[in-house]
Structure 1
Amino acid sequence: MFPVDPLSDVLSLLSARSLLSASLRAKGDWSIRFASDGVKFNAVLEGGCYLVSEGSEPRWLEAGDCFLLVNCGTHILCSDPSLPPLSPSEVFGPDHVGSIHADLPGECLFAVGGRVTFDDADAGLLLDALPPILFVSGKSREAAAIRWLLSRLGEEWDEKRAGGSVAADHLAQLLFVELIRVWLAQAETAAPGWMQALNDRRVGAAIRLLHGDPARNWRLQDLADAAGMSRSNFALRFRELAGISPLDYLLRWRMRLGAKALRSGAEPISAISYSLGYQSESAFSNAFKRITGVAPQQYRREHQMATASARKSESIFGKPDV
C-alpha cells in the first residue's frame, strides 16, 4: 500500500482528469493564438517554437519542454513573435489535428496539447495554489520522467495502435502530476498554501497524518511530535507555510470531504458526520455551515437541483462543448 499522499487526495477530491486533445505539426513561418481559459498544457516533442503569453517576454521552447497554463488569458505559439497569429479554427480540423506548411522542407515542430478537467466545486483548492504559467525545461534534472512520458505520448499519437487514445490520456494524467512535482521541487517562493506546507519536510509529515486519518481527534501536540518540533514552533511554522493553523486546516479538509460526499450520493448526513470524526450530526452541520455558509441538507438539495437543471439543458440543447 502506498503511503498517504495529500496531493493524490486533492486530485481525487477534484476528480482531476487530464485529456490529450490536440496535436500540431508546423514548418516555415506560422503563428496561432489560443484561448487559455481553465487549465491547459502543451509539450514540444520535436523541433521548437516561441511561447508568447500576456505580460511576459517571448520564450523559446524546444523538444522536451512543457508548460501548464492556469486561467492566464490568451497565449501564442509561433515561429516568430512578430507574425500575425491565426485562430485555431483556421489550423485544426474536427479531429483536433493541426498542420501548417507541412510540405515545406526543414525542421518540423511537433507539439501536443491537452486540458485538465476538475470538479468545479473544489477547483480553487488546486488552481489558487498554482502560478498562471508553470514552465518545465526538458533539460532540467527533475524532468527525466517527463522526457519518458513525452516519448511515449509521441509514439501513441503517431502509431495509432489499439487503445492508443486511452493510453494517451493516462500518459497525459501522469504528465500533469509530474509537472506539479517538478514545480514543487523547483519553487523557491510562493504564496502560503497547502502546497507550500506539503513541500516542507516536517510540516508535510504532519499534513500526511491529517490526510491519513481525518476522523481522528488530533491534538496539536500529536502533530508537533510527528514533525519533530516543539508545539509552539510547529504551530508557527505551519501557519507561515499554509496560511492557517493546523487544526483549521483539518477542519477545512473535513468540510471538503463532507461536501464531496454530499454531492456524490444519498449517504445519510449522520453517516458522513461520523466518518469525519463528529460524534453527532448537529456538530458536523454546525461546522459545515460555519465554513460554507449553508447547512449540509441545503447544500445537497441545491447541488441536486443544479445537476438536474444541467441535465435538462443537455437533453434540450445537446451536450455543451468542453
Structure 2
Amino acid sequence: MSNTIQWFPGHMHKARKEIEEVLPKVDVIIEVLDARIPFSSENPLIKTFREKSNKPVVKVLNKRDLADPEMTQLWIAHLEKEQGVKAIAITTENVNEVHQIMELCRKLAPNREDMGKNIRTMIMGIPNVGKSTIINTLAGRSVAVTGNQPAVTRQQQRINLQNGIVLSDTPGILWPKVENPHSGFRLAATGAVKDTAMDYVDVAFFTIEYLAQAYPELIKARYDLDDDLPESDIEMMEAIGRKRGCLKAGGRVDLHKASEILINELRNGTLGRITMERPEMITQELIDVAVEAERKAEEKAKQKEERRKRYLRNKR
C-alpha cells in the first residue's frame, strides 16, 4: 500500500503557528479522538506541542457509540499509561458524558481553582472527530460551527464557559504527511479526510480485509453472506455488491457502488460497533514504518553516493 495522505491546507499551517503561540498560557489540553481509531486520529503534532510545553492532556474518545466497547476500554487503559494523560469515552448524544471532560480538567489542574483563577484549556483534534459539537455542548449554546465534513472550523476562538474554565478552540489540523499507510486508510474509512483524498475502492478493500478478520460475524449478518467468507478482499466486495444489486451491464459488479455502501455503513454504525485498530496492532505497524523509513534513508544515501561517484568520474 503506497497511499500516503498529504493534506495540509493553508489554514492548517496557520493554525499550527497560532497554537504554538497560545500554548504556553494553557493549563490543560483536551484532545478529541475518534473512538474507532484512537491511534490514527491522534495528531503527532499535538504530541510535539505537549512535549515542548509539558502540559497534561484529557484524551476524549468521541463516538464511543460507534466503537467496540471492549476495545474502547483497552484503549483507555493503554492511553493512560502515559504520564499526565487522562482518557474518557463519550458520545455527544449524552450531555452528562460530555460535561465529565471538565471534571477531568479540574483534576489535572487543581492549583488554578485553589488560587481562584480560571482553568485555561485548549481543545484540539483532527477534522471530523466531533470537536465543535463537544464545544457547543460545554458552552450550552452554539459557538462553534458544526458539520459532517472535515475542516469546518477555520479559526481559533476563546470561550468562557462561566464555570471556572476557559476554552480555546482550534481548527482541526491534520499533520503534513500521514506516514503509516494503514492510518491513512482508517482516516479515509471513518471520514476524517475528504473522500477525494483517497480512492473509495482502495479504502473499501482495506476495510473489508480487516473486518473479515476482526468482525466476520457482523459482515455475514449485514450482507447475508455464507458461513465461509470469500478469501480475498475483491471477492468479498463482489459478494457484497451482488447482494446489494450493484451490477453493471453484463452482470459485472460495480465495485465503486459496493465500496460506497460498505464505507457509509461503517461510518454511520449500521454495520455494528466496530473499532478499526487495536493497541498491539499499532505497536507492530510503528515498527514496520520505522523499518521502511530506515530503508528509504539508506536508499537515498546510496543514490547520493552513486551520483557523487559519477560526478567525480566525469570530471576526470
Asked if Structure 1 and Structure 2 have the same fold, meaning a TM-score greater than 0.5 normalized by the shorter chain, the answer is no
TM-score under structure 1 length normalisation: 0.23
Which structure has greater helix proportion? 2
TM-score under structure 2 length normalisation: 0.23
Which structure has greater strand proportion? 1
Work out which structure has the larger RCO, using CA pairs closer than 8 Å and 6 or more positions apart in sequence: 2
